[in-house]
Structure 1
Amino acid sequence: MTGHSLPAKAACRDSMINMGSDESVLILIKHCQDMKQQETRLRLITFLLLLSCMALVLFMTSANLWQHKNTGSRQQENEVKQSPAYSRQGCPAENLSTDSKRLQIHLRSVPEARVSGALYMTWDAEFGQIYNQEKRAIVIPVKGFYFVYVRIALNCLVEDKQFKRFFVELQQWNKGYDRNVTLMDALDGIVCAPQGSKTVFLGRLFDLSEGDHLRVLIMEGYELITKSSFGAYLT
C-alpha cells in the first residue's frame, strides 16, 4: 500500500500542475481575444469618424460651390438687366480721352502791365492741354459735371489808406449760342495799408457741354492782383 500510494500522489501532483498550466493558457488566450476585439472596435470607430469628417467636408464644399454659383448667376442677371441702360447712356470710357490729364487743367496767371478797364486774364498751363491761348479760355473736352475754381490774391502797393474795389467774373462761351454767360462773380476790395492783402475765391460745380469756353474777366481792380490760379476738373 505504501508502494502504491507514492506513485498515486506523484500522479496527482502532475495532473494538478498540468491543469494549472492549461488554465493559464486559457486565460492568456481569452485575454488576447479580448484585446483583438477591442482593437477591432477601435478601428471601426476610427473608420466611422473618418467617414463622418469626409462627409462633412464634402457637404461644406458643395454648399460653398452652390452659394458661389447662385451669387454669380444673380450678378449676371443684374448685369443683363442693367446692360440696356448702359447701352443707351454709352460707356464713359469710350467718350473720354485715355489721358486723364486732359480732363483737368490748372493755370497760373501771367503778369501783365497795368491796364484800365475790363480785361480777360492770360494764363500759363501748369498741367493739362485744354487751354485756348487766343481766347484765354479753358476748353471743355466732353460733357459732364466739372468743378471750376478761381483763386486770386490781392495786395495794394500804394499805401494811401484808400479802399480799392475789385470785381471779377467767370464767363462761359460756346460757339453753339455765341454769347458770354456769367457763371460766377465776386465784388470785393482792399484798403491800401501796410501789410494789407486779401484772397478772393470762387468755386462751384457746373454741368458743362463739350466745347464750352471758360474764362476770367476782371471788371475792376486788375492792378491789385499779385497772383492767381484758375482750373477745372471732371468729377
Structure 2
Amino acid sequence: MARVEMFEFGVEQEQMMQVLMRHCQTMKRQETRLRLATAVLLATFMATLLWLHFHQQTTKGAFSGAHSEALKPEGPPIRHSLYLEAGKQFGACSEELPIKWNIINDGNDSPNFKLENQTVLHVFTKGLYLINLRISYRVVYNQCKPHSDPEFLTLEVSVSQKHSNYEKEREVISGKESMLCRDYWLQSITLNRVIMLEADTSLWVKLNKKSCKFLNWVKNSHLEVTYL
C-alpha cells in the first residue's frame, strides 16, 4: 500500500514538473514577444521623432528664407525727406519770382532731390510724395497805411510743377486767405497733399504780389517734401 502511494505521489510530482516547465516555456515565449513588440514600438517612435525634426527644420528654413527675401530693401530709401526754410527774399516782390529757400537737412544730397538757385526743387524719382507747406506772415510796424476802417489783405500761395509731359506748368496745391493789416499782426497758411510725381519734375512755391512782402522768413515758413 505504501509503495502504491509513493508511486502515485511520484507521478503527481512528475506531472506538476511538466506543467511548471510548460508554463515557464509559455512565459518565455510571451516575454520574447513582448520584448519584440516593445522594440518595434520604440523604433517606430524614434523614426517619428526624426521625421518631425527634419520636417520642422525644413519648414523653418523655408520660412526664414522667404522672410529674409521679404525684408530685403528695394529701390531708394523709404520716406526720405527734404526740409527747407524760407530765406530772406531780395529784390522787389513779383509773382514771377518763386520763394527762395535754405536747406535745413541733408536731403539735397539724396538721389531724389536737388535745389537749384534756392528756388526750384528738382525731383528725380517717380513715386508718391507728401508735400507739407507752411507760410507764415508778419506785419511789421508801419507796414500798413493807417485807416479808420480795418484793411484786409488777400494771401495767396501755391505749389506748381513742371514736366516735359505737360504743355504748361500745373498747380499741385494752393491756398487763399484774408489777413487784417495791422501792426505786428501774425498769420499763417498750412497746406499738405500726397501726389504722384513723374521723374525729373520741377517744383516751386509762389506768393501773390500784394502779400509777398509780409512773408515771415525769420521762422515758421517751411517746405517739406517726403518720398513715400
Q: TM-score, normalised by structure 2?
A: 0.62
1:224 to partner: Cα distance: 4.5
Give the superposition deviation at 1:48.
5.4
1:172 maps to 2:161: yes
2:135 corresponds, among 147, 152, 157, to 152
Residues 115 and 201 of structure 1, relative CA distance in 2, 3 Å threshold? same
Structure 1 residues 142 and 224: alpha-carbon distance in aligned structure 2, compared to 1, 3 A threshold? closer
Q: 8 Å contact 1:156–1:190 — kept in the other structure?
A: no
Partner residue of 1:26? 18
Q: Considering fraction of residues, name the structure with more helix.
A: 1
Q: Which residue of 2 aligns with 1:128?
A: 107
Distance 1:145 1:210 in 2: 11
Q: Does 1:35 align with 2:27?
A: yes
Matches within 5 A, 1:1-235: 9=2, 11-46=3-38, 49=41, 100=77, 104-112=81-89, 116-118=93-95, 119-125=97-103, 126-129=105-108, 130-134=113-117, 136-157=119-140, 162-174=151-163, 180-191=169-180, 197-219=186-208, 220-222=210-212, 223-225=214-216, 226-235=219-228
1:194–1:24 distance in 2 versus 1, CA, 3 Å:
farther
Instruction: Find the aligned partners of 1:196 and 1:209 in 2 and give their Cα distance.
Output: 39
- Return the structure number with greater relative CO, CA threshold 8 A, min gap 6: 2
Unmatched runs of 5 consecutive residues or more in structure 1: 1-7, 69-92
Q: Structure 1 residues 173, 20: closer, same or farther in 2, change over 3 A? A: same
Listed as ranges, the gaps of 5+ residues in structure 2 are 60-73
Identical-pair percentage: 21
| Shift, 1:105, TM fit | 1.7
Shift of 1:139: 0.5
Deviations 1:57-82 (CA, angstroms, capped at 9, x unpaired): 899899x7xxx9xxxxxxxxxxxxxx
Q: Tell me how large the CA RMSD over aligned residues is.
A: 4.5
On the 8 A contact 1:102/1:128 being kept in 2, the answer is no
What SS does the aligned partner of 2:220 have?
A: strand
Q: TM-score, normalised by structure 1?
A: 0.61
Highest CA radius of gyration, 1 or 2? Answer: 1
